[in-house]
Amino acid sequence: MDTNSKKSNAAKQDKAEKLSKFAQVLSRLRKERGISQKKAASDLGISQALLSHYEKGIRECGLDFVIRCSEYYGVTADYLLGISENRTGMDLSFVTEDNMEMSSVQTLAAAANMLLKIIATAKDVRTSKYIFDYYTLCVYRGALTMAKAGILPKEMFKLDFNLGRELASAAIAVEDARFVFIEDKSRTGTDLSEKTALHEIIENAEEHILTRFYLE
């Protein structure tokens, strides 16, 4: 086989691998949201059959569709194409699991990042959807507080601050009620020899609960 043929075959293989990565990510993002192909296709402005081909890696899409998917799922185009594992494009290099001398905000960012990475690879779609909805509502409620304090522009919100917070709290209460329907698959024997940011946040949360709300 001559050099040109080798280069051509290598290029075809590279293209096939990229198409396969995009198909896997596209399918996973939809399943994480807990939505059907029919709804996703409708929202993205294409037929269900075409979306099915994209998710199976049968067809190659155009750049405009990649951009639409990026906006629809709230991830970067690099993540969609399998180029980067960072969904948001934010620089999280300052966050490391080994560095336990972080500020409280950095620890929280590290713990949240770890938790979301774990749930992103989970096979239980129902649980993934629960975590996604719960985090979304909590972030929204936190953003409302920041806006009221003047840290975020109020123009970002359609609802009145107080109304938005009350409705978000009610929605979170509904998610809390749904928690009982998640099957208990917890197990003992977890190796806690290596403490991470997530361990620290869990300890802090439990201490907060016990010192403020626990009644003997």
How far apart are alpha carbons 26 and 31 in whole angstroms?
9
The DSSP string of 184-205 is ----S----SS--HHHHHHHHH
Name the stretches of the chain with pLDDT < 50: 92, 94-102, 187-192, 216
The predicted structure's pLDDT at residue 109 = 81
- Whether the CB-CB separation of 137 and 172 falls below 8 Å is answered with yes
The predicted structure's pLDDT at residue 47 = 94
The predicted structure's pLDDT at residue 8 = 59
The predicted structure's pLDDT at residue 45 = 93
If one counts every other C-beta atom within 10 angstroms of the C-beta of residue 66, the result is 15
- Whether the CB-CB separation of 109 and 92 falls below 8 Å is answered with yes
Quick: pLDDT tens for 23-39: 999 998 888 878 889 99
- Whether the CB-CB separation of 110 and 101 falls below 8 Å is answered with no
